[in-house]
Structure 1
Amino acid sequence: MNFDLTEERQMLQDSLRRFLRDKYDTAARNKILESDTGFSADIWNGLAELGVIGALFTEDQGGFGGAGFDIAVVFEELGRAGVVEPFLDTAILGGGLIADLGNEDQQAHVEELIGGALQVAFAHGEPTSRYDLNQVTSTAKVDGDNVVLNGRKAVVVNAENADMLIVSARESGEAGDENGISLFLVPADTKGITLQGYALLAGGRAAEVTLDDVSVPASARLGEAGKAFKAIEARVAAANVAICAETLGAMETATRLTREYLMTRKQFGKPIGTFQALAHRMSDLLIEMEQARSAVIVAAGNLEAEYKARETHISAAKNLLGRAGRLVAEDSIQMHGGIAMTQEYELAHIAKRIIMADHRFGDTDHHLERFIALAAA
């Protein structure tokens, strides 16, 4: 089986890598992290012009990619450079749901998003939901021609910068039911929405979102009433492929920085990388890297597969990337010593990204349990 990139994906990878190498160094990122928005509009618009956002959507949706391997190529490069801009939340989750479920009028927003003019955020997780996608207690009550939303949403990434929120709410059933969950496209300045924003450890910003009698027209609903769960599950599957690929790219940067440091730092007149104990530890990291790459390839290749195959491979990849990523981050820091903990050094940010990626959409323990349950089903 040939795992080489197609010519189009190779061109995308090369152009994205060049752009980030020229524009996204440690100093530039630290400046972004210290900003009020937590992302750079110039970088966002530059990558949109490069076609990066379009690569995450199918041709029918106005893009030129959208497959699992397109997502993996883009996010591996974003992870390698430690990019903090909210591509996952705006394009894969929010934009993807609009593209999957939206009517003709709503689909027009996808074109704006691909062009870089529109920011969205997916307001789904709640204070008590943890990793369970069906734990939705926010409510949506029909009131004449409108729908009134009430509830709280937790850790809504990019909420402060979003022009629109995609809000999940329950129209019927109980918390834990898959049926009854609907999605609504809500302008961020709608009366009744309150945001409490904060910076995230791995970069970017999120907010706690309170919905207090937020009234939207029934036309704001995405798709059929109460039938949004499968679309949410499919989009989170794509997000898991993205975050696994991003972690792989970050792991590549961590091992590269460690290898360079080991061959530069000297003791007893020799590079410390020539010492057997450190050489063996470095070899272990490279082995983990190859296993991680294989897992990402399998997950990306099964993103369009039937439900059980898709979710089994994604949970397997998420578990492996979580474990391998932690090992790479911790060993890279230990082999560097104190310099790895300074914000001015690239590895400090990269290690945070690797560790925190494990906690989005389910950590290693969650996905191990899920893999066992899916395999036994």
Structure 2
Amino acid sequence: MSDTSPSSPSDRVVPSGHAETLRRLEKSAARLAAAAITRMDESLPWYRAMPPENRSWIGLVAQAGIAAFTEWFRHPEAPQAISTDVFGTAPRELTRAVTLRQTVEMVRTTIEVVEEAIEEVAAPGDEALLREALLVYAREIAFATAQVYAQAAEARGAWDARLESLVVNAVLSGEADEGLLSRAAALGWSTPDRVLVVLGTAPDGDSELTVDAIRRSARHAKLHVMTGVFGDRLAVIAGGSDDPLHTARALIGPFAAGPVVVGPVVPDLLAATRSAQSAAAGLRACAAWPDAPRPVLADDLLPERAMAGDSTARDQLVEEIYRPLEAAGSALLETLSVYLEQASSLEGAARMLFVHPNTVRYRLRRVTDITGWSPSDVRSAFTLHTALILGRLAGSEQQI
């Protein structure tokens, strides 16, 4: 890690001819570092609570800080890489164990210890010079501290973005496994018990801005999300809500114009592959329903998905609609079939079945209770009709 000092040489104090002060400063460096560590142990509870290894690294940082001040005092006109001189002694992992606030407290404590020793360390007549040099150096250290943490945050953010993209891509591609859970946990995913996937078109421009917009919307809606842009597709894994349409509406702002499809709610992240596959199939089939709402549930696109070759949709229509009606008795299947063939006319269906229209009405209510789809609604009638066709085909295949 390297940097250049934020100030120019002309801003600095040039202590030429003050060799005695420099000699005293060099001699006192180890003692001042030890005093700084003692002061931290007395006044900083977080330091006392740290593991011995981290306290040891912080001690080295304090020693390096005082040594760097001594070298800076010796050659103030030379460009210095303070962040390398001071923080380069500690491992990168220390920026995760020690917060920026704690580092500021550590630096402040060390500077205070050195400042209190100025009368003792400085040669007679050099007290003001050393104090002024320490003030300028404290500013340099503040800039260096900010830069170290900014670089660490930038690197961590880039790594997190890549890891998040890998997690979302694994869910979309159906490659979710137990390792996915540990990677998601590293991103702060809190394992909500309700998860769904939202897919749509990504807007033009910087994908990072799109991802940030999704995260802002998620925070406002109190949702857990992982998201990514893959080509022209924007994918969001959302957790924490059992209302898929409400979730999608809360996140829909950053999506580009075009259909936005919401997969079904599943119990956890590993099952999110199922939600993603349904949403992807729905997105492909949306062209067959130009007037589809935005967002639209993948399950509302079951007929189009089935016609587009989605075997999952075909099985779902047969298992969730045709089989329950078949199990309820042939009268319901026959009544539904005739009603749909008679252009949804109660009277026409009653004449064809030789029953009273109220009987047809009762049986259709039973169809709604069993399947959740109302034959009187045009869109639901289309779904029911498709399920009947697929169910009959499945039955004929079994007989062959």
How would you bin the TM-score normalised by the shorter chain?
A: under 0.3
Rg larger for = 2
Q: Which has the higher contact order (CA 8 A, sep 6+)?
A: 1
TM-score, length of structure 2 as denominator length: 0.22
Going by fraction, where is strand more abundant, 1 or 2?
1
